[in-house]
Structure 1
Amino acid sequence: MHSRDRQSAPDARGSIVVASIAAVLFVIVFGRMIHLPRSEADPSSSPGTASFSSSLGTQFFTKGNILVTSPASGQTVGWSFTIQGQARVFESQFNYRIRGADGSILTEGTALAKSADAGQFGAFRIPVRLTPSAVKDGTIDLFAFSPRDGSQQDLVRIPVHFAP
């Protein structure tokens, strides 16, 4: 081995260390850029779901990559309403499921977030039309499936009341 080759090996390791530090700093800075003001967690939302309030009085429910702005927890909705928010999920696709208090599935489907690029939050609007029934209470679940193993992730559960 030439003496010149031995000297370049530490330089390559140094470049890897610098690149690793830069990647960690990017994650820290990017994480702070999307930080939301935190309020007390809403006890009526699902475990691990945080509730936030903005200075405008809007309440948000989030679990990592899905952020719901409407409807609010405990809100009374009609048989037709719209679910709104933002999501940052694989290929911008996620799922929703609306259940009655007895666990029956009233409707379910997939939705798309309109994000500018991969890895960014994008807005979504899901128009919902339910068949009127005797169900008075229920939950709205929004979640994504892991592209790695198909497991359910980022579940946001919002309790609602149904009224004509």
Structure 2
Amino acid sequence: MKKLFLILLTAALLHGCSSTPEAVDQPAPEQPPASSEPPAQQPNQPQTPAPEQEPPKEEQPAAEKTYGNDIFQKVTVAKTGEDTFEIKGQARVFEAVFQYVVEDGHNELTEGTVNTSAGAPEWGDFTHTVKVKKAEPNSTLMLILFEVSAKDGSRQHELIIPLPEK
């Protein structure tokens, strides 16, 4: 019996000495189980009301989205009528002129030119109204602003803007 006790004691000591503190997985100290009921209030203590929650805020209309690239900046588009859109912004274009086209993905529905208040290298302000009607009711109208290349007449620095539905 003494031999068995001695062997068990030796085994326990060896086991305790051979493990490092990092490798020891000790269970967390037991905590009482969380109760789903709130703690009971003492009868002499006044109950404190829960902090008031703010009522949900009404959704503000989203700020107008602005568009830009190398030659256009601060461009906004607002629907002003059933088929009318107002375009505002700034452009840095040669001789203060740029072009636009409105298309529905398949067809060019309207096109034109816009003059700005100043030519490049200055930023010139512009405001222009575009009147365009959808050819297909389920299509999305896209406004494309661009500068025409003096070299070959191609579109340069296109800025593509979806026209708002509302």
Q: TM-score, normalised by structure 2?
A: 0.53
Residue 92 (structure 1) aligned with residue 78 (structure 2): no
Farther off after superposition, 142-151 or 127-136? 127-136
> Which structure 2 segments of 5+ residues have no match?
1-62
Structure having the higher helix fraction is 1
Residue 119 (structure 1) aligned with residue 121 (structure 2): yes
Q: Aligned letter for 1:79?
A: D
Mapped to 2, the partners of 1:84 and 1:104 lie a distance apart of: 24
Greater relative contact order (CA < 8 Å, ≥ 6 in sequence): 1
Mapped to 2, the partners of 1:150 and 1:134 lie a distance apart of: 30
User: How many residue pairs end up in the alignment?
Assistant: 103
Mapped to 1, the partners of 2:130 and 2:102 lie a distance apart of: 9
> Which structure 1 segments of 5+ residues have no match?
1-56
Structure having the higher strand fraction is 1
Q: How do 1:122-137 and structure 2 match up within 5 A?
A: 122-131=124-133, 133-135=135-137, 136-137=139-140
Contact persistence 1:60–1:69 (CA under 8 A): yes
Structure index of larger Rg: 2
Mapped to 1, the partners of 2:142 and 2:91 lie a distance apart of: 19
RMSD: 2.6
Q: TM-score, normalised by structure 1?
A: 0.53
Contact persistence 1:58–1:69 (CA under 8 A): no
Mapped to 2, the partners of 1:82 and 1:76 lie a distance apart of: 6
Identity %: 30
Q: How do 1:133-144 and structure 2 match up within 5 A?
A: 133-135=135-137, 136-144=139-147
